[in-house]
Each structure stands twice: as C-alpha cells, then as structure tokens.
C-alpha cells in the first residue's frame, strides 16, 4: 500500500474482549516510540475508534486528488473509520457485499502519509473483512486479543487458524482482563480464569505479548477519547502497552529480514 510500510491486524475471534481498546493504545505506544502510525477501523457495523480517539461526531475527512480520502489526525495518529462517513447513531443495515465494498474503499482510497505502521482494528469473527484484507494487501502480522476465559479462547483459536490459512504470521497474543484489581481494598481476583494466554500461545508456538488488568481507568479513559497511553503515560498499564509495542515492532522487522535472499558468485 502506498504510504504504508507495515500493516498489522489486531483481531479476536469474538467481540467484547477489548480488541479496539488494545488497538488504539498499541498505536499510541508505537507512536510514543517514534514511529508514524495510523489506525484503520475495519468494524463497519460497530466502529469505535472515533470515540476512543476523541474525534467529534460529524467530523468528515477531506478529499484529495485521485478520489482519495485524507485521514483525520488525533493524538498524533492518522485515522480512518466508517464513523467518519456516516451518522453513527443509525444502524448499518447492510449485506455482506456492501460491507466489503466499504472496507475496500477505506483500505485502498485513504491517502496515508508515510506510515511506519498501519494498525487495522478488525471486526470480530473470521469472515468477509478478514479474507478481503488478506487478499488485497500484504499484512505483516496479526495480534490476537483474548481474555483468559475458556469460551474466548475457543474463538481466539479460530482467529489464529484463519490467519495461518491465509499465510499471515501471528505476532503474539494479548491477554486482556487477566486480573481484576479492586481500587478500594486492593483485592485481586482472576475473574475470567488464569493461564489462558499461555495455553493458546504454547499450542500455536507463539508468545504472550502482554497481560492487561481489568481496571476502571482503562475503560473510562478510552470512552473519554483520551486512552491510557496518552492520559497516564507512566502508569503500569501504559508500560505494558509500551512493551507490547516494542515486541510487535521487533517481530515485524525480524520477519522482513528473514525473507529470501539472493547471492551471486562467479
């Protein structure tokens, strides 16, 4: 893709595991480490990146030459979302071909400006959008978001299997909501179980990139349009995202250097 060096899909097998929150904070963590980063919200039916980035309702992207859209900018990120195109209060009652068409239009007609990383916030599941992405552009890798819960792990496995079938390397797993910490009494509880991320990482020979707690601040800051990484850069949560970002950048650059080489001899 013009203007993009690496494309990373952030995906999950099911909804409600915090994939969009991980996407925006991972993007901000990469940006804080000096990379030029963009976010494409591929969830056509339920886009959430506009609110998480603090983009006001009704703000629309400008157009450029060649029938292109200029991405909006927020917190130093370039962003494109269906929420920038339509009234988000109305339901998108569209059939599959229309959804795929809208996604392809955002994917190919956005004029990204010299990005190191484009993070794609994937919709849940393993359907049309995922297949279209793998067929249309070279995806450098995928990050799988899950909770430790057994039911979530069932769907996370499907996500990993799907990316393997379309030859997209899985960079690792992010275990979200791994531990609940009570802000009043300090009690900790593994509400969704323990060890789920390790289990699936071992099963598929990948790694756990990081574990994020179930805390009120992560949700509140994302809802307010000022995610944790920009609002509380020195917090333990932000440091976890920084470590996840470091591993993602390292894995992507390593996979590129592992490609085939050509040598010449007399």
Instruction: Residue 44: name the closest of 12, 90, 2 by CA.
Output: 90
Does the annotation flag 210 for ligand binding? Answer: no
- pLDDT surpasses 60 at 261: no
pLDDT, mean of residues 148-168: 91
Q: In the chain, what percentage of residues exceed pLDDT 90?
A: 73
- pLDDT surpasses 70 at 257: no
pLDDT bin (cut points 50, 70, 90) of residue 145 is very high
Distance in angstroms (rounded) separating the CA atoms of residues 40 and 52: 13
Does the annotation flag 16 for ligand binding? Answer: yes
30-83 pLDDT tens trace:
999 999 999 999 999 999 999 999 999 999 999 988 889 999 999 999 999 999
Does the annotation flag 19 for ligand binding? Answer: yes
Instruction: Residue 43: name the closest of 102, 113, 116, 97 by CA.
Output: 102
Contact of 174 with 164, CB cutoff 8 Å: no
* Residue 176, number of CB atoms within 10 A of its CB: 24
The pLDDT score that the predictor gives to residue 176 is 94
Does the annotation flag 15 for ligand binding? Answer: yes
Does the annotation flag 20 for ligand binding? Answer: yes
Locate tokens 């995806």: which residue? 139
CATH 3.40.50.300 fits 4-254, yes or no: yes
Domain borders along the chain are 4-254
7-38 pLDDT tens trace:
999 999 888 899 999 999 999 999 999 999 99
pLDDT bin (cut points 50, 70, 90) of residue 87 is confident
């Amino acid at each position: 893709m013009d203007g993009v060096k690496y494309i990373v899909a952030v995906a999950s097998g099911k909804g409600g595991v915090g994939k969009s929150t991980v996407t925006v904070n991972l993007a901000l963590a990469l940006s804080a480490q000096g990379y030029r980063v963009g976010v494409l919200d591929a969830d056509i039916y339920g886009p959430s990146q506009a609110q998480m980035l603090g983009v006001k309702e009704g703000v629309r992207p400008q157009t450029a030459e060649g029938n292109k859209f200029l991405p909006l900018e927020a917190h130093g990120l370039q962003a494109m979302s269906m929420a920038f195109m339509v009234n988000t209060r109305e339901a998108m009652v569209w059939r599959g071909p229309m959804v795929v068409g809208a996604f392809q239009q955002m994917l190919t007609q956005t004029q990204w400006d010299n990005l190191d990383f484009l993070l794609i916030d994937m919709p849940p599941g393993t359907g049309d959008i995922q297949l279209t992405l793998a067929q249309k552009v070279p995806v450098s890798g995928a990050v799988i978001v899950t909770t430790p819960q057994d039911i979530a792990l069932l769907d996370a496995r499907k996500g990993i299997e799907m990316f393997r079938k379309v030859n997209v390397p899985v960079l690792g797993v992010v275990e979200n909501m791994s531990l609940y910490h009570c802000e009043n009494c300090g009690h900790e509880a593994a509400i969704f179980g323990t060890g789920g991320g390790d289990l699936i990482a071992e099963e598929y020979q990948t790694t756990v990139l990081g574990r994020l707690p179930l805390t009120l601040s992560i949700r509140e800051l994302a809802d307010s349009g000022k995610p944790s990484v920009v609002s509380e850069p020195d917090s333990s949560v932000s440091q976890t995202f920084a470590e996840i970002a470091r591993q993602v950048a390292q894995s992507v650059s390593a996979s590129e250097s592992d490609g085939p080489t050509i040598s010449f001899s007399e």
